[in-house]
Amino acid sequence: MIAKVNFVSFAAALGFFCLPWLDFQCSDKSKITQSGFQTVTGGGSLGEEVKLKFGDRDDDESRESFDAALYVAVALGCIVLGLLLAFIGLLGGGSPSPALPALAAMALILIGLQMKLGFPMEQKIIKLNKMTGIEGGAAAVDASELLTLEKIRIVYRPGIYFELGSLLLPIGVAFFAMRPT
């Protein structure tokens, strides 16, 4: 039973990387969204209003890539490795690997750390605002304060919370499966 829960949890965690994680909004309108995979690869999806304004440009000179979120990339590696170990455990029928909760905890910590430090696109927006001097002499040192001044909001979409929840499941299963001897 535990092997099935671990497998489903890691498979769901990998699937939740496809859902939108971040939504960059200006005046409550979505400008750019990023899924978990797009944060790793440095991509993004333009909002409908931006697509209408600038059209669909496919040439490389007009598209700028965002930096990759390295902590999320390592977390993705932990999830893939955990899925592989869970699949092997499911086929083998033995006890689940003790590395599964550790891999889930590592991925959970890394994604949480990336959320705390800010995703690369968020950091790029702050850097561009500082270079252009838009901050207007305000004493905003914190990234969230500067983004608030610029009316650019970063909204965490439900996909990132589903990701974190699916990573908590193997940790919880391992915790409750411990029996005092």
Segment 58-65 mean pLDDT: 44
Out of 1.10.3470, 1.20.140, 3.30.420, 3.30.70, select the CATH number for domain 2-177.
Answer: 1.20.140
* pLDDT band per the 50, 70, 90 thresholds, residue 27: confident
Question: How many whole angstroms separate alpha carbon 159 and alpha carbon 21?
Answer: 5
- Output the pTM of the full model: 0.77
Is residue 154 within 8 Å of residue 147, measured between CB atoms? yes
Closest CA to 104 of 70, 88, 80, 87: 80
* pLDDT band per the 50, 70, 90 thresholds, residue 123: confident
Query: CA angle, corner 34, sides to 41 and 121, nearest 5?
Result: 75
| Count of residues in the chain | 181
Percent of the chain having pLDDT more than 90?
Answer: 36
